[in-house]
Amino acid sequence: MSDHPKPFQRLLLTGAAGGLGRVLRPHLGQWAEVVRLSDLDGLGQAGPGEEIVHADLADRGAMLRLLDGVDAVLHFGGISVEAGWNAILQANIVGVHHLYEAAHAAGVRRVVFASSNHAIGFHPTTTQLDADSPTRPDGLYGVSKCFGEQLARFYYDRFGLETVCLRIGSAFPQPATRRMMVTYLHYEDLIELIRCSLFAPRVGHTIAYGMSDNDALWWNNSKAAHLGYRPRHSSRVHAHLFPDSAAYPAADDRASQYQGGPFVSTGPFYD
């Protein structure tokens, strides 16, 4: 044990083998004496200060065991793309309920919930949103994120379990499409947003949009100002990749008329 204890004794990251889980994993040890990593598989060997626990979100007993002794949770587990109803139901709806049930039972202080911009994907690109804008999911995946946000609200109102719901935009090394020039979230800004979400004195039930300091603005984070998040990066450094970005959205392209982009036309997938 360090002579200067870290803020958390045990921090849990679910979905640790996923794309963003792999980005976050190397950074979490600075905040916790023990980082518990969970996924179905693909986690490799535990490093210093790490614990690996394979668990299925849909398994209530496994989730109760997973949350035992945990102070705070970064919930990045579940399905992160549009999929069939049964898969979404088990991983993203039943699973998130099990997570909150177990977190409450374990006395967890705070959850950072990886929500998604697809919870509001059917808003037009001409509309600027804030935390109080109504949800308009663009698929079953988006519906599951709306459920998670509302479940988090219930657990705060009923039990005082605080959550920051991050409506993550497009977290990639660089924008891959013109749409991502608006929704881009640099990895370093993602890590900073998570740090702010963990350490802000009180967050209650906060909805924050996960974006860098991009020039075009669909989302307004003023109602999450208490987090203290100040992005340091911007998609503007990648503007040369999309010289016609000023023409976005195209009036005749459904995917560019709505904030969810191609998700508004993906699926539904039937089981």
Residue range 37-50, pLDDT digits in tens: 999 999 999 999 99
Show me where the domains of the chain are located: 8-265
> 75: which residues sit within 8 A by CB, 6+ positions away?
14, 15, 96, 99, 111, 112, 113, 114
Task: Report which DSSP code applies to 173.
Answer: S
Annotated active-site residue 184? The verdict is: no
Cα 15 from chain centroid (whole Å): 11
pLDDT at res. 267:
80
pLDDT at 269: 79
Structure confidence at residue 252 (pLDDT) = 57
Cα separations in angstroms, 270 against 49, 85, 121, 139, 213: 42, 7, 21, 12, 38
> What is the structure's pLDDT at 256?
84
CA distances to 6, 147, 155, 246, 267 from 264, in Å: 43, 18, 30, 22, 9
Residue tagged active-site, from 141, 155, 156, 258 = 141
CA distances from 163 to 42, 46, 166, 206, 239 (A): 27, 27, 9, 6, 34
Residue-wise pLDDT tens for the chain (271 aa)?
A: 456 789 999 999 999 999 999 999 999 999 999 999 999 999 999 999 999 999 999 999 999 999 999 999 999 999 999 999 999 999 999 999 999 999 999 999 999 999 999 999 999 999 999 999 999 999 999 999 999 999 999 999 999 999 999 999 999 999 999 999 999 999 999 999 999 999 999 999 999 999 999 998 999 999 999 999 999 999 999 999 988 765 555 555 778 899 999 999 988 777 7
- Kindly report whether the peptide bond that precedes residue 26 is cis, defined as omega within 30 degrees of 0: no
Task: Say whether domain 8-265 belongs to CATH 3.40.50.720.
Answer: yes
Nearest-angstrom CA–CA distance, 96 and 99 = 5
| Helical (H) or strand (E) element with 97 | helix 95-106
User: pLDDT per residue over 80-128, tens digit each?
Assistant: 999 999 999 999 999 999 999 999 999 999 999 999 999 999 999 999 9
Q: State the DSSP code for 18.
A: S
**110 closest CA partner among 241, 236, 198:** 198
Q: What pLDDT does residue 9 have?
A: 97
Rounded Cα gap, residues 58 and 229, in angstroms: 33
**What does the pLDDT read at residue 242?**
87
**Which pLDDT does position 268 carry in this prediction?**
75
| Strand-pair partners of 124 | 258
